[in-house]
């Protein structure tokens, strides 16, 4: 073997090993993050965290019960806004629309998807807070729901489109109308992918903080109904982490662990559902 060839082989092995190092480092970062949260958050999680309201400033103890419920309420209404619009819009694109209209809608959805969340917050403030003179759960949900729309819409279109022609044509041959075909054959065939998309969209907005700053504000207590400001996990984490109180730092870690745990569980669930289902194009 010539020296040159030996050198090239050495370079090859070295560089390829380096790429392996890069991959390992990237994945290691994830585990480091998780590790930190588990270690610091784990020792702060107690029953009080889940059941109690925050205590007055400077006093030790209390919990984030209202923030947990607040986040749940925000996500619930966000889904009620984002999912129907995304899903039905996707149905239109996949089943009814012509090419031109479809490309316009797709373009708009991609645009909306790329809007930074702080700008969504500005928009939601002028649409959902100012006209009603009220910070509210609804306004926060409006902002989060907007962010769910593009993901849901594009995924619905994609998964519906991937349903095999045979199923479609079979149904129509049996005399079913288009609408009946969609609702009883096509959607059920694609439901796994669509469900996955909804879960991923939910996981994405669950951690959003910036839009909530201008819409849901915050609440020391429970938020009655849907028209009042509400506490939420991400905003609490933000406020507590920046404070000088040790006890608040402790609670911020705990909240971070809970929030990340929730998001990761939803993500893993979504991807497992997808991989177990019928073969569909990669997202």
Selected binder of other proteins within 210, 254, 274, 280 (CB under 8 A): 210
| Distance of closest approach, residue 134 Cβ to other proteins, in angstroms | 6
- Window 112-141: contact mask with other proteins (x via CB under 8 A): xxxxxxxxxxxx-xxx-xx--xxx------
| Distance of closest approach, residue 222 Cβ to other proteins, in angstroms | 4
- For CA atoms 122, 124, 127, 131, the dihedral sign is negative
Selected binder of other proteins within 110, 170, 174, 278 (CB under 8 A): 110
Binders of other proteins among residues 173 to 202 (CB under 8 A) are 177-180, 182
Q: Is residue 21 involved in binding other proteins (CB under 8 A)? A: yes
Selected binder of other proteins within 67, 144, 149, 189 (CB under 8 A): 149
| Distance of closest approach, residue 171 Cβ to other proteins, in angstroms | 13
Distance CA 108, CA 256 (A): 33
- Window 254-283: contact mask with other proteins (x via CB under 8 A): --x--xx--xx--xx--x----------x-
Q: Is residue 2 involved in binding other proteins (CB under 8 A)? A: no
Distance CA 154, CA 233 (A): 28
Selected binder of other proteins within 78, 208, 251, 254 (CB under 8 A): 208
Task: Please identify, using beta-carbon distances, which residue of 167 and 172 lies nearer to other proteins.
Answer: 172
Only one of the segments 25-33, 43-51, 161-169 lies at the binding site for other proteins (rule: CB under 8 A); that segment is 25-33
Selected binder of other proteins within 141, 155, 196, 219 (CB under 8 A): 219
DSSP state of 27: H
CB-side neighbour CA atoms (13 Å) of 240: 30
| Distance of closest approach, residue 177 Cβ to other proteins, in angstroms | 4
Task: Please identify, using beta-carbon distances, which residue of 52 and 228 lies nearer to other proteins.
Answer: 228
Selected binder of other proteins within 162, 172, 209, 277 (CB under 8 A): 209
Q: Is residue 60 involved in binding other proteins (CB under 8 A)? A: no
Binders of other proteins among residues 65 to 84 (CB under 8 A) are 69, 72-73, 76, 84
Q: How many residues bind other proteins (CB under 8 A)?
A: 117
């Amino acid at each position: 073997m010539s020296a040159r060839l030996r050198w090239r082989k050495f370079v090859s092995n070295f560089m390829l090993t380096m790429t392996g190092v890069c991959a390992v480092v990237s994945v290691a970062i994830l585990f480091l993050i998780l590790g930190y949260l588990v270690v610091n958050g784990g020792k702060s999680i107690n029953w009080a965290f889940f059941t109690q309201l925050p205590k007055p400033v400077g006093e030790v103890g209390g919990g984030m019960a209202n923030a947990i419920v607040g986040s749940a309420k925000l996500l619930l209404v966000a889904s009620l806004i984002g999912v129907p619009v995304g899903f039905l819009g996707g149905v239109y694109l996949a089943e009814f629309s012509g090419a031109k209209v479809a490309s316009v809608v797709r373009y708009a959805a991609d645009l909306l998807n790329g809007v930074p969340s702080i700008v969504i917050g500005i928009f939601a403030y002028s649409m959902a807070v100012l006209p009603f003179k009220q910070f509210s759960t609804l306004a926060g949900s409006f902002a989060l729901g907007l962010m769910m729309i593009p993901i849901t819409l594009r995924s619905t279109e994609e998964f519906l489109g991937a349903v095999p022609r045979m199923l479609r044509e079979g149904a129509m041959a049996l005399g079913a109308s288009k609408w009946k075909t969609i609702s009883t054959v096509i959607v059920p065939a694609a439901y796994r992918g669509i469900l996955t998309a909804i879960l991923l969209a939910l996981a994405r907005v669950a951690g959003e903080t910036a839009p909530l700053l201008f819409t849901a504000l915050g609440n020391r207590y429970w938020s009655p109904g849907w028209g009042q400001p509400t506490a939420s996990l991400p905003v609490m984490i933000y406020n507590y982490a920046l404070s000088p109180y040790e006890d608040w730092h402790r609670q911020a870690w705990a909240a971070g662990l809970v929030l990340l745990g929730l998001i990761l569980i939803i993500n893993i669930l979504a991807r497992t559902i997808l991989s177990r289902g019928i073969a569909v194009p990669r997202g």
